[in-house]
Chains A and B, each alone.
Chain A
Amino acid sequence: MTDTASRPLLEVRGLRTAFATRNGLVRAVDGVDLDVRQGECLGIVGESGSGKSVTFASVMGLVRSPGYIEGGSIRFEGRELTGLAPSEMRLLRGRDIAMTMQDALTALNPALTVGEQLTEVLHAHDGTLPRERRARRIAVRERAVEMMRLVGIPSPETRLGNYPHEFSGGMRQRIMIAIALACRPKLLIADEPTTALDVTIQAQVLDLIADIRQELGMSVVLITHDLGVVAEHCDRVMVMYAGQVVETGTTRQVIADPRHPYTQGLLNSIPRLSMRGRRIRPIDGQVPELIDLPAQCRFFGRCAVRLEPCKAEIAMRAMAEGRMVRCVRAGEGEP
């Protein structure tokens, strides 16, 4: 299993990513700390605007103008990634860290066959391939077929010649996973890999990621809004709200004993098949605008248990080893 004493694969400290807009500076990610350990699956939960996607776009070096990384550190295998030259970052992407995007149809190039897109990654990143042209072409083709087979695409030899639009949504998601995994990365970041898919296809795609994780011993970051998916697949979970991490812990801890009022609200607002008849309790209001936020708890406006001390910047507090909550009332348990 994971060796907690060794250094984490990915270490993010105090990450701040901002976007300069006409209306002011939007701090999409504001002081995020996180670790991804060797071989683990970390779930990132949060709603639109919580900063979960921007956090990992920052890790991948994919934040584009008007966005920029304001501060903080991102270390992968101990190496600092912020400030790395684009050419060096490009070498790392695909080979060591790979990311799958939420919408496979727009992430894949519609004008190239999936075979062309898959072999492109192998040519660019795989150092183990033979140098001689003919041998290299054959080796790349074999690897591409192998990857298509790994993600469960029937008759991969012929399907490599198809274009993205010739595949169903679930198949496209698998192809994107095949491209991401082609160079056997150490870390896979899967951004909402199943949001657009039916539950039956969702189960197939998530099982596939879990199988490959075991087989290759890679680490996975699963960005999702679905707590059920987290419960089934993640070892640890990190809950984000309005650009900050509000709670972290093992999946079991966070789901059985949520300490942040937002996490509690989220769990109370989801209908569950196993608890039919239980009334859901929605969280009132909506996520605050990220421009000119007052220096207070970001959940203040929607919180049912807020107090006077909440009108100040709230820091993460350690409840136990690896268990952190950003709430002054975190020690009190469920109200």
Chain B
Amino acid sequence: MTTMGTRSPGPLVRVRNLVKHYDTRRGLFGRLTGRAGVLVKALNDVSFDVGRGETLGLIGESGCGKSTLGRAVLRLHEPTSGRVEFGGEDVTALDADALKEMRRKMQIIFQDPYASLNPRRTVAEIVGLPLKLHGLARNGRELRDKTAAIVENVGLKTAHLDRFPHQFSGGQRQRIGIARALILNPDFIVCDEPVSALDVSIQAQIVQLLSDLKREMGLTYLFISHDIAVIGYVSDRVAVMYLGEIVEMGPAEAVLERARHPYTQSLLSAVPEIDRPGRRRHVALRGDLPSPLSPPPGCKFHTRCPLATDICRTVAPKPTAVGPDHTAACHLVEDNVELAS
């Protein structure tokens, strides 16, 4: 079953000091005019582990770098610096052939089930393509059989194989995307907002399917979502991102029930809850996310933080242990016991 060092001990995925900067000078416009560009710091020194069989949930507002992180880990976007290890092997050092081989073990499910499937290919072609690219089917018969098996695994029928994406609903399309990610029998999947585009009852079907598949196939997920309740449901551990940095990380229960970073606390207090009818006081979080083109100095959250002091405006805080396997990057973490209550 598993190949390429995925049986080595330690976490399956180990990310260290990952940095991704986008240089606006690189564009055609920038080169022609020779204007000094601006560096967009999409990821800034991000480190984390994902254990075997674990789901790490990633939350944060749009523009915080969640999706960039998911893609940089798979080297779909080339990281600027830092290290990504998969089963002990340095993914960032692999050449094209070795990377292709590695991609059999690491896959991605995209947010938009409308844009991520080629409208001119049938389900059989879309789902079977990875097998063909990796030469894993000896003939058409085997390709068809393997494709049919995985399609049934995700709750579609073999009768669907020769249809085109537009003949399916959003939920069914997401199942096609999941089948494509699973057909190579990977160990690790980046789920990038896999249920955000779906209706509530369909969302539940897909969340359920992803958890069933994880159990049956022994998968490991990096699960990206802006829906905090969904993250709470699927995750073993949770990481909270703000402007390209992880500001808090720990066991799901600790981060969601005993959040220590003021940003996590305000994020959680903004989630409307069915079980607490009536208006609640939200922890004041003024304004929008600052532009990553000109992030504020010091702690990047200080412009919106209700507790910010002088040190926050000048010195960037380092992640500090606040509990077992639980860290928060905040100067005030000692005094900030419970802001929300």
Q: Which residues of A contact B (CB under 8 A)?
A: 47-48, 168-171, 198-204, 206-207, 210, 225-229, 231-233, 251-252, 255, 265-267, 269-276, 280-284, 286
CB of A273 within 8 A of CB of B228, answer yes
Contact pick for A280, options B169, B207, B268, B285, CB 8 Å: B207
| Interface-centre pick from B233, B270, B272, B285 (highest chain A CB count, 10 A) | B272
Question: Interface residue count for B (Cβ, 8 Å)?
Answer: 42
In the complex, residue of chain B having the shortest beta-carbon distance to the beta carbon of A274? B275
Q: Kindly count the residue-residue contacts between A and B in the assembled complex, taking CB atoms under 8 Å apart.
A: 126
CB of A198 within 8 A of CB of B171, answer no
B201 sits at the interface (CB 8 A):
yes
Shortest Cβ distance from residue A304 to the other chain B in the assembled complex, whole angstroms: 13
B185 sits at the interface (CB 8 A):
no
- Interface class of chain A by DSSP: helix
Contact pick for A202, options B202, B270, B276, CB 8 Å: B270
CA distance A255 to B201 in the complex (A): 16
| Interface-centre pick from B61, B171, B202 (highest chain A CB count, 10 A) | B202
Shortest Cβ distance from residue A197 to the other chain B in the assembled complex, whole angstroms: 9
**Neighbouring B residues of A274 by C-beta, 8 Å:** 273, 275-276
CB of B277 within 8 A of CB of A199, answer no
Q: Which residues of B contact A (CB under 8 A)?
A: 61-62, 169, 171, 199-205, 207-208, 226, 228-230, 232-233, 252-253, 256-257, 266-280, 282, 285, 288-289
| Interface-centre pick from A229, A232, A255, A265 (highest chain B CB count, 10 A) | A232
In the complex, residue of chain B having the shortest beta-carbon distance to the beta carbon of A47? B199
CA distance A267 to B273 in the complex (A): 12
CB of A273 within 8 A of CB of B273, answer yes
CB of A276 within 8 A of CB of B253, answer yes
**Neighbouring A residues of B285 by C-beta, 8 Å:** 200, 203-204
28 A-B pairs (CB sep. < 8 Å)? A48-B199, A171-B288, A198-B61, A199-B226, A199-B271, A200-B61, A200-B267, A201-B61, A203-B285, A206-B272, A207-B282, A228-B229, A231-B275, A232-B277, A232-B279, A266-B201, A269-B200, A270-B200, A271-B204, A271-B229, A272-B273, A273-B229, A273-B273, A275-B275, A280-B233, A282-B205, A282-B208, A283-B201
CB of A276 within 8 A of CB of B272, answer no
**Neighbouring B residues of A171 by C-beta, 8 Å:** 288
CA distance A271 to B207 in the complex (A): 10
Shortest Cβ distance from residue A211 to the other chain B in the assembled complex, whole angstroms: 10
**Neighbouring A residues of B257 by C-beta, 8 Å:** 276
CB of A231 within 8 A of CB of B199, answer no
CB of A267 within 8 A of CB of B208, answer no
CB of B272 within 8 A of CB of A232, answer yes
